[in-house]
């Protein structure tokens, strides 16, 4: 039985929404075509996982997630 992931990482939707939508569309296109996953996309997956760890602080029980999200939104000029 084959299963497909149809969502995305919470971090991308929380702070990089436009790029998350673009990335999700790219992944859906690849899934529809049934082509192999490009190595660049696999590398990006690792980088995004690392970025999410920095933002959401899972190693500390997510205690730093609100400040992490606020920092990204401030850097983008979306939060004072």
In sequence order, what DSSP letters do the residues of 28-71 get, joined into one string? HHHHHHTPPPPHHHHHHHHHHHHHHHHHH-GGGTTTTHHHHHHH
Is 20 a domain residue?
A: yes
Domain of 35, in residue numbers: 10-75
Is 1 a domain residue?
A: no
Is 3 a domain residue?
A: no
Q: What is the mean pLDDT of residues 23-43?
A: 90
pLDDT at residue 10 is higher than 70: no
Measured in Å, how far apart are the chain's first and last C-alpha atoms?
Answer: 48
Q: What is the mean pLDDT of the chain?
A: 83
pTM, to two decimals: 0.69
Is 21 a domain residue?
A: yes
Q: Please tell me the total count of domains within the chain.
A: 1
């Amino acid at each position: 039985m084959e299963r497909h992931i149809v969502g995305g990482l919470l971090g991308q939707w929380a702070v990089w929404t436009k790029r998350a939508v673009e990335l999700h569309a790219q992944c859906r296109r690849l899934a529809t075509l049934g082509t192999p996953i490009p190595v660049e996309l696999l590398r990006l997956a690792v980088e995004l996982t690392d970025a999410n760890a920095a933002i959401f602080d899972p190693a500390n029980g997510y205690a730093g997630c609100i400040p992490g999200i606020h920092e990204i939104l401030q850097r983008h000029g979306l939060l004072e």
